Structure 1
Amino acid sequence: MRATAEPAIAVTRQLGRFIATSSWLDIPVDVRREARRTLVHWIACAIGGSTHDTVERAVRAQLAMSNHGNARLFGRRERLVPASAALVNGIASHVLDFDDTQLGATNVHPTGPVASALFALAEIRPLSGAALAHALVLGIEVECRLANAVFRHANRGWHVTGAVGSLGAAAACAKALALEEQQIAFALGTAATQVVGLREMFGSMCKSLHTGRAADNGLTAAMLAAEGYTSADAAVEGPQGYAQVLNGATDLAGVVGALGQRYEISRLSYKPYACGVVMHPTIEACLRAREARPDLSARATAITLRVHPDVLSATGKQSPRTGLETKFSVYHAAAVALVHGIAGEDAFSDAMAVDPHVSAVRGRVRAQPDEAVRKDEVHATFSLPGETIEEHIDHVVGSVTRPMTDADLERKFESLAGEVLGASRCGRLLERCRGFEEISDAREVLAAATA
């Protein structure tokens, strides 16, 4: 008798089959539209983050190891080998914490690992815009479905984006390389054994490294599979495989259920504020309250927030010391919104971390976890001498219920990319992105997006 039962569902194999047989013509029109929106948004975040000190250090480290690459970086002049370009573009796209999120489920940021890997691959295996967009949809699908199954109900401390991103990137690159079912399954297995990302790193440079490393790992896994590199047959579902070892997950039916009938990319949220997404309802509540009472930060003796428990587990830093740490402090987010009325990248800088007025208000903020409150919701109470002000955000802007419009996304694109490329070049790049599916060579976008 075998000591361990065989997995009931051949998840790795079924994912491989789905990816291998999927056709761009199978993808619904509304999903194609969302792929275009997702690319516009991700490119903006990658260019916007390209000048961050975290990226500067990463580029110097990669150049010290190899300066002979030909793969381009969004928003920069340097060129690196493709794996390093995937790494750096992944870091840049996530470092501002401004990228897309599967809000309401696992808070995974799915596009970063997938798009970073695909654009690096496009430098050595030319892809049309439609081919890259198709691979993007499938990579995000794999990533989000695995996140839902493995991490939805518990998390031992993994940063979900790092933990699932390698498999999403591998799936996307395997499709772009036109690999067969068995090769794709091997690529997924090779990616599964390279997972990265600890939540302890939130607020440090290493958080964005998770996205970059996942992109690098996924690209490498697909390239290895293309050369006949093998992996375990049940890498995802096996008794000592990915899902069991990472988080003890055994119910994986949702990973392969209704494949091709619904697409997770349609459920992505895009951020209006440059910080941890679970803080966004608090920011909106504080900005709204400040608009009605501009003197609120000076007069409020206490600010009480009733929030989803994930707000405290992910963004509970009470005394952030750096700009990166402020992105994971709901106390800072509330305070800077009340004091300065801002929530963009300037609100989460090193200077704002030590702003005396913000620090003073930060000390008056109290956050209470409540399972009955959704992730896109907050109940905020502002206590003043002789009165109390209440603000309830039912669904924050940027959520699936209140999505950012195309115009909102383009304004965000112009703000982030325009600052790096200039208004004229930014406009030309945006025009190419609008017609991405019709581009014969995705490298046209890369050429337009470098500094």
Structure 2
Amino acid sequence: MTGETRTLAAWAAGLTLDQVPDEMRGIAIDLLVDQIGIQIGCAHLPWAQAVRDTYRAAGGAGEATSVVYGDKLPVLNTTFINSVFGHSFEYDDANPLIHGHIGGELVPPLLALSERDHLSGKDFLTALITGYEVRGRVGWAVSPTMLERGGPQYSTTCGPFGTAAAVSKLLNYGSDGLHNALAVAGTFSGGLMQYDQGGGSVKRMFTAVAAIGGLQAAMLAKAGITGPEEILEGARGLLKIYPDEYTPGPLTSDLGEFWTLRHVLFKPYCCCAIIHPAIDAIRNVITKHAITPDAIEAIEVGYPKGSHHHAAITDPKDILGMQFSTAFSLASTVLTGKNTPAAYTMEAIADPAIRAMAARVTLTNEKELDELFVGHMPARVTITTKTGAKHDDLVIDAKGSPAKRLTSNEVDEKFRSMVVDVLGRERADEIIATLRNVVNVPDMADVAKLLVK
């Protein structure tokens, strides 16, 4: 009997772009545009620069290019730098079915390798979609219990498998080679989630850890390192160790018919995606009932079990802490109307008005929402006014979620908002046009050149 890991690997190795529905190709290109825009727009952040300085100092062959700055470094170093850039401000894609931030796990290693080897955009896009689906199947199989109990973290745990598959696909390893890369990737799988309790800039590196973990797994598999064939479904494989229930079905069911890529979420707000429905809900309540900030006595947020503790920081010490604080994010919504990058600052954290409003927010587990947590990220917000009136709104799917996904035009506008100040409007539009036509790009090294000042 063929195991699930081998079945998934064989499907991934055999996938061609012609087999991918047009809708999925379009979403993958949106994912690419979104991720590249965030890399460019967030490259200047202090934690991004700390990573860049560290990996530049390591030196090595000039194989691939860091975005914005044009550093020529080995593929591994460039992958880590660009992936941190792309996950530096909680603004990159998510997925309520499979969890994690897959764009930052896949785009940096694939672009670095494609630049080094002068590979085509068609090969790049095929590998991106393949890696996303493998990563998606692994994430789906361990959801939602891994998040509900607080770990391990999805990108660092599931991401290496998707990246290993994507790299193996890009470099034509074939079915057996891709399967072995997955087997080796298990050694790079794991990671803790304490950041959602205490903050810390280390979380900015999680997609990079996944990206180089999978990249190294594929490289080592090619060099002859072997791993256990049933790394996902085996007695001590991923699915037996991490989730509460053993559910191997998502690894292989309806491959080529059901696409986890369809469930991608593009963020309009730069905070934990779990907070997004609460932001939409509080906006709805305030608008519908014309509630002013000084009229608010209390704000209650009802979350499903999986969300309840993941965005519950009440006294953030840094920007990441604010981005994982429902209370501070909603306080910003109420007082400034903004949840864009400009809203998440150390000054905002120290603002007495925001702190006072945040203190009025409480979180509860609304058990009726628990069953919606797979495939959705719901939240109910109830505002109690100082007159004692209560007004509430339930949002099951926030703006940007699969049911209300940003359009390609909206993704492009988000890209411009991140890139124009760095590279200028003309270059931003040139990059968008090139990425949207990526399937016809003969050499991805030409794309890498566009992303530099």
Among 20, 25, 28, the alignment partner of 2:21 is: 28
- Work out the CA distance in 1 between the residues paired with 2:336 and 2:290: 10
Aligned counterparts, 1:15-414, within 5 A: 15-66=8-59, 68-103=61-96, 105-155=97-147, 156=149, 157-202=151-196, 203-247=199-243, 250-291=246-287, 296-373=292-369, 374=372, 375-386=376-387, 387-414=389-416
Determine the C-alpha separation between the residues in 2 that align with 1:249 and 1:236: 13
Mean Cα deviation higher: 379-388 or 136-145: 379-388
Q: Is the 8 A contact 2:116 2:445 kept in 1?
A: no
Q: CA deviation at 1:73?
A: 1.5
Root-mean-square deviation over aligned CA pairs:
1.9
**Contact 1:323/1:351 (<8 A) preserved:** no
Moved more, 307-316 or 157-166: 307-316
SS at match of 2:302: strand
- C-alpha deviation, 1:88, in angstroms: 1.4
State the Cα distance separating 1:170 from its structure 2 match.
Answer: 0.5
Segments of 5+ residues of structure 2 without an aligned counterpart are none
Matched AA of 1:33: G
Deviations 1:10-40 (A, max 9, x none): 1221122112211121112221111111111
CA shift for structure 1 position 290? 4.3
- Is contact 1:74-1:450 (8 Å) kept? yes
Aligned-residue offset at 1:67? 5.3
Gaps of 5+ in 1: 1-7
The TM-score, its normalising length taken from structure 2, stands at 0.93
The Cα offsets for residues 383-407 of structure 1, whole Å up to 9 and x where unpaired, read as 2232333333342111111111111
CA distance in 1, matches of 2:280, 2:207: 27
Distance (whole Å) between structure 1 residues aligned to residue 290 and residue 354 of structure 2: 15
CA drift at 1:292: 5.6
In 2, Cα distance between equivalents of 1:221 and 1:385: 58
Identity, in percent, stands at 24
After superposition, the C-alpha distances for 1:112-166 in whole angstroms (9 at most, x for unaligned) are 1111211121132222111111111110101111111123334452111111111
Residue 350 of structure 1 and its aligned partner are, at CA, apart by 1.5
> What letter matches 1:354 in structure 2?
A
- State the shift of 1:287 in Å: 3.0
Q: Deviations over 1:188-241 (max 9, x none)?
A: 111111113211133322212121011111111112222333222222222122
- Contact 1:183–1:228 (CA under 8 A) maintained in structure 2: no
CA positional deviation for 1:249: 5.0
Deviates more, 1:396-405 or 1:280-289: 280-289
TM-score, normalised to structure 1's length?
0.93
- Residue 367 of structure 2 aligns to a residue whose secondary structure is coil
- The residue identity in structure 1 corresponding to 2:144 is R
